[in-house]
Amino acid sequence: MKNFSEFINIHLCVNPVDFRKGVYSLSCCIEEFFEKSPFDGSCLFLFTNKNRKKIRSIYWDKTGFSYWGKTLEKEKFPWPKNLSERKIEITKEQLDWILRGINPWKTKFHKELKYKII
């Protein structure tokens, strides 16, 4: 498994995916949803199921697809809702938050202040 910091782009499929699909069906989803090549090893692609208790990722690892998942026993993964987009790009930090259960779409940061010296 690659470290998340090695990926240039992390793509998240907003719509739930049927997890009966295997690695090759998900690679077809990459072409369809993301309009990207599943063989681009610099990209990590993320999917969730309908109840958001499972998350799966897929990426090309030079010799084949790497395919891993995580299942939560009691909680659900935070996932974007009500977006008109079927796909979004997220940061490595946001991926870490999702895996820890922090919702990056509801997190509010302090507003940046900009001042000028007169």
CB-based burial label for 105 (10 Å; 0-12, 13-18, 19+): middle
In a domain, 114, yes or no: no
From the list 38, 20, 42, the residue with the least C-alpha distance to 29 is 38
13 is in which domain, residue-wise? Answer: 4-100
Pair of tokens at residue 96: 């870490």
Strand partners, 45: 11, 58
In a domain, 105, yes or no: no
In a domain, 107, yes or no: no
In a domain, 28, yes or no: yes
Q: How many domains does the chain have?
A: 1
pTM here is 0.82
In a domain, 111, yes or no: no
**How many Cβ atoms are within 10 Å of 8's Cβ, its own excluded?**
10
Locus of tokens 């891993």: 68
| Per-run averaged pLDDT (10 residues), the chain, 118 residues | 80 90 89 88 91 92 90 89 79 89 81 86
Confidence at residue 108, expressed as pLDDT on a 0 to 100 scale: 75
